[in-house]
Amino acid sequence: MIIAINGNRHQEGHFQAIERLTDTLVSHGHHVVMAEQFLDYLTTHLGSRFSAGIDYLPLSRQPRADIAVSIGGDGAFLKTARWIGDSEIPIAGINTGHLGYLSAFAFDNPAEIYRMLSGGEYRVEERSLLQVEITYPEKTELAKWRQMPERLTALNEIAVTRGDIASMLRISAEIDGLSSLNYMGDGLIISTPTGSTAYNLSVGGPVLDPQLQGWVLSPIAAHSLSMRPLVIRDSSCIILRLEARGDGFRLAADGKPVTLPLGTVLKVSRASYVIKLVQQLHHTFTDTLRDKLGLGNTLV
User: Which residues are catalytic, by number?
Assistant: 74
Sequence-distant (6+) residues with CB within 8 A of 76 are: 6, 7, 8, 70, 93, 97
Q: Is 29 exposed, middle or buried (0-12, 13-18, 19+ CB in 10 A)?
A: exposed
